[in-house]
Structure 1
Amino acid sequence: MREKVVEVRGLKKSFGDLDVLTGVDLDLYKGENVVVLGKSGTGKSVLIKIMVGLLTQDEGIMNVLGDEVSNLTAKQLNDLRLKIGFSFQASALYDSMTVRENLEFPLVRNVKGLSKAEKNKMVEEVLDAVGLLQTINQMPSELSGGQRKRIGIARTLILKPEIMLYDEPTAGLDPITCSDINNLINEVRENFNTSSIIITHDLTCAKDTGDRVAVLLDGVFGAEGKFEEVFNNPQDQRVKSFYDYNFIV
């Protein structure tokens, strides 16, 4: 039996009169990439914010690595977050730090007693994994958008997370760079043995990276399965219109 690393059941979240999630069910298995698709404002990012304890659900279960997130103490939540890598849409690099300093920052905050040589080895390892070892002494302002995205992923990987959360990983990138990022997401899964949830509205990203895709419609998953199963003959007109709205290479 496959090991389940995330289990979501009956998840609901509202903001005032706005019902964002109205009963979400989702499983993520060890070593799997699951893509959550949806138009802007459908609650994709709300889902992963609940997953890391940045928001709390109104109803339902959010079980991550065996723990109900909403029941964790502050220390337990911090410990859980160290096992989850969060790749932000805007990369979230510190502009005043070099690439090396950006990657050392989570080590300094979370891993005590590392020597300078050990930190350097860990930094070089993840930079090499994303193909950007040559940028180690550069500033973020000197990097392209795709390079900053890769460095952001490298900084997340340096703590060896069990789960990766990608928030719109290809947003704002040209098609060639998007393809490179999609390939990197798959390489990360293979090389770092991660399980991943990829939040996107980019169907090419979904097709290239997802073992399964789940389409978020009106606060619930309206369709779920392999990409071809979901989109080759969609039963829901909203799924078809979402497909038609996007361009598949």
Structure 2
Amino acid sequence: MPSEMHKDQREKVVKMRGLKKSFDENHVLMGVDLDLYKGENLVVLGKSGSGKSVLIKIMVGLLEQDEGSIEILGQNTSGLSLKELNKLRLKVGFSFQHSALYDSMTVKENLVFPLTRNVKGLTKKEIDKKVDELLEAVGLPQSANQMPSELSGGQKKRIGVARTLILNPEIMLYDEPTAGLDPITCVEINNLIVQVREQFNTSSIVITHDLTCAKTTGDRMAVLLDGQFKAVGPFEEVFTQASDQRIKSFYDYNFIK
């Protein structure tokens, strides 16, 4: 677990201020402020369509905010050239909701592709060692020669995480990591997210609408409603002290139904 040091004394690896994003008349983010601290797993919780995925797509430059600023590892993303932004992106791993594996490549080839594209001068032995270590870390050491079509949904998620980790990112972004998975596999993926933080010393933002995922993986939660964060804090604190009844109703629906 991260240090118990007061959060304001901890290093901020992501700092969002006044973030706004609209699509025509659909105002998705309406002045968002949020910090991610070093060594922390932060869960962004909200219903489908609330803007959670938009938030992290802005972080990695897949979308551009209308207003506001984002600092990642001390760099303001708005002031970066394309070359500087691409360099920063290598430090931010994005685990896509649907894994986004290349269907025509084996598992090993999927992992090797970003490594050889971004890191020059590696020997075959070094590449093989890196791939073997990551497949072991995600619990699929025998899967190197399999095709994505031969994998279950949970296995694809694990390989997606392994491919994201291959470049040693400092920050991990998980987009709906348990979506579409059976309950047992959800538990395995939740545990993997916690394990990744411990083993690879990452700071993470976990985007989810799954309260079990939020409770298992998150040190803090930020609840996104109406384009703003209505509650930020530890899981129990958010749901016991929330002034917005919709937050309590969300908890009741998921845990007391």
Q: TM-score range by the shorter chain?
A: over 0.9
* Matches for 1:1-249 after TM superposition, within 5 Å: 1-247=9-255
* Alpha-carbon spacing, 1:248–1:128, altered in 2? closer, same or farther (3 Å): farther
| Unaligned segments of structure 1, at least 5 residues | none
| 1:191-237 deviation digits (Å, cap 9, x = unpaired) | 00000000000000000000000000100001110000011343211
| Alignment partners' CA distance in 2, 1:135 and 1:55 | 34
| Unaligned segments of structure 2, at least 5 residues | 1-8
Q: Which amino acid aligns with 2:88?
A: L
The runs of at least 4 aligned residues of structure 1 exceeding 2 Å deviation read 244-249
Q: Which amino acid aligns with 1:178?
A: C
Q: In structure 2, the residue corresponding to 1:133 is in which secondary structure?
A: coil
Aligned-pair CA distance for 1:61: 1.3
| Alignment partners' CA distance in 1, 2:215 and 2:161 | 20
Q: Which amino acid aligns with 1:17?
A: E
| Alignment partners' CA distance in 1, 2:144 and 2:255 | 35
Aligned-pair CA distance for 1:247: 3.9
Q: Which amino acid aligns with 1:220?
A: Q
Q: In structure 2, the residue corresponding to 1:36 is in which secondary structure?
A: strand
| Alignment partners' CA distance in 2, 1:146 and 1:203 | 18
Say which is worse superposed, 234-243 or 201-210, in terms of deviation: 234-243
Kindly report the root-mean-square deviation, in angstroms, between the aligned alpha carbons of the 2 structures: 1.2
| 1:29-60 deviation digits (Å, cap 9, x = unpaired) | 00000000000111101110111111111111
| Alignment partners' CA distance in 2, 1:118 and 1:248 | 51
Q: In structure 2, the residue corresponding to 1:232 is in which secondary structure?
A: helix
TM-score normalised by structure 2 residue count: 0.95
Identity of aligned residues (%): 76
Query: Which residue in 1 is equivalent to 2:4?
Result: none
Q: Which amino acid aligns with 2:194?
A: N
Aligned-pair CA distance for 1:66: 0.7
